Amino acid sequence: MALWPRTRRGYTTGALALTAALALSACGSTSQTGTSASSSAPATAAGGVQLVAPGKLTTCTNLPYPPFQSKDASGKVVGFDVDMIDLVAKKLGVTQDIVDIDFDSIKGGAALSAAKCDVAAAGMTITPDRKQHLDFSNPYFDEVLGLVTKKGAGVPDLETAKTKGLSVGVQAGTTSLTLAKSKGIEAKEFKDSGKLLLALQSGQVDMVIQDLPVVVDWMKKPNVSSAYELSGQVPTHAQYGFAVKKGNAALLKVINESLAEAIKDGTWTKEYQEWMGAAPVTTPSPAS
């Protein structure tokens, strides 16, 4: 489905260090402790769900990735994914604690297997390869990728970019890289979205591929929108999901229940409008 009107993962210009666990508060439910998961025996939450740290639902993510997760002006981590996982934490009777970690450790399952976190929420696309290492929730968001170039470059698609010999930048380990490779493009990889945008602005690359909501967030900044444009969109027909360690059926059940409730009662739509800046054309099925 098309999530954005034709008239749709984006990053801030500042590249943030991938360091300590981050704390955040969304509707008062996210922990501000700034501590990572405990190495002690798992704690038990509502419904018998085992957690890596007592009283916390520890979430691994990769910052910055607005509008899904990023720091606000006060330093708190906020975003669409954050609010969705806060609903899960509330259902479990705990608070959410966020750990900023390398995306490769998330998508490959290493962070979850090492008990660094209970759940991964990183605007992450569900792919067959990732499903070998992770158990995914029901889909909660459809993926569309955006192409960004200098204004007036006249590059509506990757075929044109290849014909013109443009250099292309992507975030390492993402479906944007997969798309570029499928078109025979040897893209330059950057560790996070902030570095990707900086690469475009500094002339290291002529075009970048990034999840459309992230691009839309970029375009809210005058210094970006004045010089660059969304030159094309690529619906991939893939979807985002939250992920847990292989075999963690109890937590996965609570996540799916929380998503279904949010979709049914309108919370999903409300959060979408807040973070994406537009009404969704369609919503995911509560039982998809």
Token readout for 244 is 């847990």
Q: Identify the band that residue 29 occupies on the pLDDT scale cut at 50, 70 and 90.
A: very low
Greater confidence, 7 or 109? Answer: 109
Q: Identify the band that residue 190 occupies on the pLDDT scale cut at 50, 70 and 90.
A: very high
Judged against a pLDDT cut of 50, whether residue 8 lies above it is answered with no
What's domain 143-238's architecture?
A: 3-Layer(aba) Sandwich (3.40)
pLDDT tens-digit profile of 266-279? Answer: 999 999 999 988 78
pTM: 0.74
Q: Taking residues 168-181, what's their average pLDDT?
A: 95
Question: What pLDDT score was predicted for residue 282?
Answer: 67
Which secondary structure element, helix H or strand E, spans residue 168, and what is its range? strand 168-171
Which secondary structure element, helix H or strand E, spans residue 83, and what is its range? helix 80-92
CATH superfamily, with its number, for domain 21-140+239-276: Periplasmic binding protein-like II (3.40.190.10)
Is residue 265 helix, strand or coil? coil
Residue ranges of the domains in the chain? 21-140+239-276, 143-238
> CATH topology of 21-140+239-276 equal to that of 143-238?
yes
Q: Is 90 exposed, middle or buried (0-12, 13-18, 19+ CB in 10 A)?
A: middle
